[in-house]
Structure 1
Amino acid sequence: MSDELDRELRVATRLAEWASEVIRRPRGATADPVREKASPADIVTDMDEEIETYVRSLLRGKFPAYGIEGEEYGVHRGEPDAPHWVIDPIDGTTNYAHGIGWCSFSLGLAAPDGTPLLGVVADPWRHEVYTAVRGGGAYLNGTPTRAADHTTLTGHVFLTEWAAHAHWPGMDALLAELSARHCTVRVMGSTALSLAQVAAGRASATAIGEFHPVDSLPALLVATEAGAVALPQRPVYDEPLLIAAPGVAAEATELWRRLVLREG
């Protein structure tokens, strides 16, 4: 790992630990006010904005040439050949706002062409921080982590997420086929954490209907550095993404292409 990448990872990890503490902060009798963004199912709280404001400020101070894209405050353009950060201060705001302990802080660094270079995902409620750098493996709380060695989807967990509040094309057909195979599906409410569970070996696969770098790129890198297989290998914005443990990748890919991508 280069000295600069090591510095970036240390900064990102410290920010993840700080954000986890802030998210766990007792909320008292008055919860954060919830405000709508694009729809009643797309919400933001003061905590989302507080975390992103601090993270953006710190990153701009330490890496002034870099760009930044955040969930709440959009894009700050850096120098043309510089990498850019992607920030989701609370991925799973609906869970957070309703007192459900399943949300995450997500921070990643991407090359100018979008290639993920570094990814950090923090689970405040389980005191877990996933980290990865490109080509350097994946870690959970500093210990190497690997995708599961399952060889079938049957009997294991498959995670997915809504596209905002709605089913995405092919989702119902995929869920029906997984049910027929006795594969248990869960919709947990945080894209970053759902992808990270494949890296931890807890879920055999995770599928999302729309890839957005802000909430998916860091966890995508963590999962693939843990040995998981991504389809497609280079995800496209707003297009579906499948992540699968290597032993179930062929089975999951066949279902994905037939039911979601409608190939063949």
Structure 2
Amino acid sequence: MISISSNLNLMIKAAEKASKSVIRDFGEVEKLQVSKKGPYDFVTKTDKNVEKILIEELSKSKKNYSFITEETGKINNKDKENFWIIDPIDGTTNFLHGIPHFAICIAHISNNEIISGLIFDPIKDEMFFSEKNKGAYLNNQRLRVSKKNSTEDCLFSSNHEGTKFSDLNMRCSGCAALDLAYVACGRLDGFFHNKINIWDVAAGALMVVEAGGIINEINKFDIKNIDIRASSSAINSKMLEKLVNF
């Protein structure tokens, strides 16, 4: 049985509660695709509702922790050393189009250091989580990064700019958090993206490291301007060589 902290337990319970609303609303999105209004306003409401649930749940036993969230921005409470970082739905465009590839993301940062991270894919029921110096897990199974060491055998992910730039074997999934989780569990070998937000990468950055991978210094939590490079340790130097001008 894995031993997890009370904070990570709180994060898991909050994500599971919020996921009920996400799964219900995702079912509605397909109906809205064919309506004149479309699903845009509805998805915005879902985002805000999920964020509200997460904030309420996380605040129950940690009333003083501050927040950084995608929808609201910074919420400063009494404790300004401990932050919850929340992305209610990472992969909103996928969600909007009825594509079942998105995630709820929560990270705990203490004194500018990522202590724990959670990425929950509610449709596939995959709960990725990690804690500093305690490893990374998927539904209680320990994760390790890929051991492939030839770029020709590897699969990488990025956004549109990254896929156009690189001659690596690329995918663009539309969900950065799951890309990082997939690097941690060996489904992908590397992920890179420029000018990305902290709530997209905080949880996954810790996960990759705890699964034995390598991640660059992510600009000391510059909230909206992060250039991230994450990969297995076996392929890191080769990936970075390919990205020297990116």
TM-score (norm 2): 0.88
Tell me by how many angstroms 1:236 deviates.
Answer: 5.3
Q: Deviations over 1:113-170 (max 9, x none)?
A: 2x101100011221100010111100000110110111122122101124xxxx37xx
Partner of residue 108, structure 1: 107
Cα distance change on mapping 1:185 and 1:16 into 2, 3 Å: same
Conserved? CA contact 1:95–1:102, under 8 Å: yes
Partner of residue 247, structure 1: 234
Distance 1:211 1:158 in 2: 17
* Alignment equivalent of 2:158, drawn from 157, 160, 164: 160
Which SS does the other structure have where 1:46 is aligned?
Answer: helix
Distance 1:141 1:190 in 2: 19
Conserved? CA contact 2:198–2:226, under 8 Å: no
Where do 4+ consecutive residues of structure 1 move more than 6 Å?
Answer: none
Question: Within 5 A, what are the aligned runs for 1:186-197?
Answer: 186-197=171-182
Q: Which amino acid aligns with 1:244?
A: S
Consecutive unaligned residues in structure 2, runs of 5 or more: none
Q: Deviations over 1:166-186 (max 9, x none)?
A: x37xx643x2x32xxxxx210
Distance 1:199 1:75 in 2: 28
Which SS does the other structure have where 1:232 is aligned?
Answer: coil
Partner of residue 58, structure 2: 59
Tell me by how many angstroms 1:235 deviates.
Answer: 5.7
* Alignment equivalent of 1:29, drawn from 11, 28, 31: 31
Conserved? CA contact 2:14–2:58, under 8 Å: no
Which SS does the other structure have where 1:108 is aligned?
Answer: strand
Partner of residue 203, structure 1: 188
Question: Within 5 A, what are the aligned runs for 1:24-173?
Answer: 24-25=23-24, 26-27=27-28, 29-30=31-32, 33-35=39-41, 45-80=44-79, 82-113=81-112, 115-162=113-160, 167=161, 172-173=164-165
Consecutive unaligned residues in structure 1, runs of 5 or more: 36-42, 179-183
Number of aligned positions between the proteins: 235
Cα distance change on mapping 1:140 and 1:234 into 2, 3 Å: farther
Cα distance change on mapping 1:58 and 1:20 into 2, 3 Å: closer
* Identical-residue share of aligned pairs (%): 24
Distance 2:20 2:221 in 1: 33
Question: Within 5 A, what are the aligned runs for 1:215-254?
Answer: 215-232=200-217, 237=222, 238-254=225-241
Partner of residue 17, structure 1: 16
Residue range with higher mean Cα deviation, 79-88 or 21-30: 21-30
Partner of residue 197, structure 2: 212
Partner of residue 38, structure 1: none
Tell me by how many angstroms 1:81 deviates.
Answer: 5.0
Conserved? CA contact 2:14–2:57, under 8 Å: no
TM-score (norm 1): 0.82
